[in-house]
Amino acid sequence: MTATAQASSYQRLREHLAYLKLDTAAEQLSQELDLATKDKLSATQVLERLLELEVEATQARRLRGRLRWAHYPVHKTLTDFDFDFQPHLDRQVVAELSTLRFMEEHRNVILLGPPGVGKTHLAIALGVAATEAGYRTCFSSATDMVQALQAAHLEGLAQLKMRNYTGPSLLVIDELGYLPLDQTSANWIFQVVSRRYDRGSVILTSNRGFSDWNQVFADQVVAGAIVDRLLHNATVLNIRGHSYRMRAHQEPATPKGGRAVVR
Ligand code: ADP
Ligand code: MG
């Protein structure tokens, strides 16, 4: 091939890649071709390398999109979590959850305990891990979810909004129980939980034990129905340690129960 023919073939290849929106491959083409000449790579090897770069860029872009959509308030990982600070939290249970088998089994995860013990941290870390594994996830505080559904309802858009909470493979509902929930709010939570029942996972955090839920919900029947569906297939982690936020002001955690209960 003459140098001119080669140059126009290169140009057309770049145009094809750009037309197909294979932007990374288009950008990397020149560099990859130089490398191919230098390392005497076969046509198959060059194509494989080029498409691998494109696949990696696409995966990273989709992950960013899923993370943006999920609305995690901060980025937390299990690696950031100091298990030594919560000696009664069963690492094995958390390690099992981190395999994400609970997602395949549509199992729920309930994180209970007083403020500051890392419930939200663990919920976000598991949610982020699921998002990285390719699942669509969504994070919301219980209050925000209820308010968003009620506001949508007033505009006649409740069913559309509901899909935000029922569509994703994982829904993280944070801070149930910080504020009491009236009948309407309880109904929204019931609808979300029952529609997800056996179809997707919920991670829920609460500073109240189940026995206190009758104080959280105005409607006891609905409260019972919510607990029933959430617990049907759930891993419950009851963290009874000290607040991490207050750690500078405290003695190290003393052994006082707080064992993980796996159902
Ligand atoms: P909770 O939801 O139980 O009230 P958070 O998860 O919000 O508590 O934790 C409060 C803060 O302390 C967060 O910044 C969190 O990342 C951090 N934190 C809590 N527990 C730990 C821990 N064991 N290791 C590292 N950071 C922790
Ligand atoms: Mg929290």
Q: Could you tell me the pLDDT band of residue 257, with boundaries at 50, 70 and 90?
A: very low
Q: What is the Cα gyration radius of the chain?
A: 25
Query: What pLDDT is attached to residue 262?
Result: 43
Query: What pLDDT is attached to residue 252?
Result: 52
Binding site membership of 177 for ligand 1 (Cβ less than 6 Å): no
What is the mean predicted confidence (pLDDT) over 28-57? 95
- Is there a contact between 100 and 250 (Cβ–Cβ < 8 Å)? no
Query: What pLDDT is attached to residue 260?
Result: 45
The helix (run of H) or strand (run of E) holding residue 124 is: helix 119-132
Q: Could you tell me the pLDDT band of residue 253, with boundaries at 50, 70 and 90?
A: very low
Q: Could you tell me the pLDDT band of residue 234, with boundaries at 50, 70 and 90?
A: very high
Candidates 98, 90, 110, 97; CA nearest to 171 is 110
Residue nearest atom 7 in ligand 1 by C-alpha distance: 120
Residue nearest atom 6 in ligand 1 by C-alpha distance: 118
Q: Inform me whether the pLDDT recorded for 102 exceeds 90.
A: yes
How many Cβ atoms sit within 10 Å of the Cβ of residue 55?
13
User: If you ran DSSP here, which 8-state letter would residue 251 be given?
Assistant: P
Candidates 139, 75, 112; CA nearest to 205 is 112
Residue nearest atom 20 in ligand 1 by C-alpha distance: 118
Q: Inform me whether the pLDDT recorded for 92 exceeds 80.
A: yes
Which residue in this structure is represented by tokens 């607040």? 243
Residue type, 258: G
Phi, psi of 175 (to 5 degrees): 60, 50
The helix (run of H) or strand (run of E) holding residue 214 is: helix 213-216
The pTM for the full model equals 0.89
Query: What pLDDT is attached to residue 251?
Result: 56
Binding site membership of 163 for ligand 1 (Cβ less than 6 Å): no
Query: What pLDDT is attached to residue 172?
Result: 98
Residue nearest atom 10 in ligand 1 by C-alpha distance: 116
HSE-CB of 216 using CA atoms within 13 angstroms = 24
Binding site membership of 85 for ligand 1 (Cβ less than 6 Å): yes
- The CA distance from 171 to 144, in Å, is 13
- Point out the ligand 1 atom lying closest to the alpha carbon of residue 83: 23
- Is there a contact between 53 and 24 (Cβ–Cβ < 8 Å)? yes
Query: What pLDDT is attached to residue 90?
Result: 94
- Point out the ligand 1 atom lying closest to the alpha carbon of residue 121: 6
- The CA distance from 34 to 36, in Å, is 5
What spacing in Å lies between the alpha carbon of 77 and ligand 1's midpoint?
A: 11
What is the mean predicted confidence (pLDDT) over 73-84? 97
Residue nearest atom 1 in ligand 1 by C-alpha distance: 116
Tokens of 60: 């990273």
Q: Could you tell me the pLDDT band of residue 199, with boundaries at 50, 70 and 90?
A: very high
What is the mean predicted confidence (pLDDT) over 71-90? 96
Tokens of 5: 């023919």
Residue nearest atom 19 in ligand 1 by C-alpha distance: 118
Candidates 198, 192, 203; CA nearest to 226 is 192
Hey, which of 74, 117, 121 would you mutate to test ligand 1's pocket, going by the most ligand atoms within 8 Å of its Cβ?
121
Q: Could you tell me the pLDDT band of residue 6, with boundaries at 50, 70 and 90?
A: confident
The helix (run of H) or strand (run of E) holding residue 96 is: helix 91-98
Per-residue model confidence as pLDDT tens digits over 106-156: 999 999 999 999 999 999 999 999 999 999 999 999 999 999 999 999 999
- The CA distance from 218 to 49, in Å, is 60
Q: Is 210 exposed, middle or buried (0-12, 13-18, 19+ CB in 10 A)?
A: middle
Q: Could you tell me the pLDDT band of residue 219, with boundaries at 50, 70 and 90?
A: confident
Q: Inform me whether the pLDDT recorded for 187 exceeds 80.
A: yes
Q: Could you tell me the pLDDT band of residue 254, with boundaries at 50, 70 and 90?
A: very low
Q: Inform me whether the pLDDT recorded for 259 exceeds 70.
A: no
- Is there a contact between 216 and 176 (Cβ–Cβ < 8 Å)? yes
**In terms of C-beta distances under 8 Å and separation of at least 24 residues, what long-range contacts does 44-50 make, across chains too?**
50/25
Tokens of 66: 């899923």
> Between 252 and 195, where is the model more confident?
195
Query: What pLDDT is attached to residue 261?
Result: 44
Binding site membership of 115 for ligand 1 (Cβ less than 6 Å): yes
